[in-house]
Structure 1
């Protein structure tokens, strides 16, 4: 689990460093990493389907928009997974 989060963090940090340069494959990897961490967001999968359709139709404008949203959501999902590990009662 920790290795998955480290790998996902690396994928997301590389992709978020140049969000405009993120590719469809990087977005797919980020979604799978968030899913493996145990906190996939339901909206991310629909964005991935839309991005695939835009990728297949060579619609770069919409593809960039979907990929940016996917990377944002997966980054937040990974943050949520990290916070869930620390959750517990505080006495």
Structure 2
């Protein structure tokens, strides 16, 4: 599994914290959404991260990055002032 692969673009959270690898993104979801109700965006982000870690394929990594970004934007976890 390629959990240490870089996301296609860093994801900037509040206070300037950045997620830069598949592992960091997966850990963030696990920590911050552990008790969250299941929803389509969360499920898709988890599935896409697993796919990207399994294949290491750049298209899969981009899809995972985009899905994580969509989830975190919808849940107001992104730094709105950071470039996207």
Q: TM-score, normalised by structure 2?
A: 0.51
- Per-residue Cα deviation, 1:13-67 (whole angstroms, up to 9, x for no partner): 4236xxxxx2111211221233146465332223322221222112022212212
Whether 1:71 aligns to 2:81 is: no
Q: Partners of 1:34 and 1:40 in 2: how far apart?
A: 13
- Alignment correspondent of 2:55: 57
- Kept in 2, the 8 Å contact 1:54–1:63? The answer is yes
Higher share of residues assigned strand: 2
Structure 1 pair 68–39 and aligned structure 2 pair: CA distance change class (3 A): same
Superposition CA RMSD, Å: 3.0
Size of the aligned set, in residue pairs, is 64
Distance 1:37 1:76, change over 3 A: farther
Structure (1/2) with the larger helix percentage? 1
Which consecutive residues of structure 2, in runs of 5 or more, have no partner in the other structure?
Answer: 1-11, 78-84
Q: TM-score, normalised by structure 1?
A: 0.48
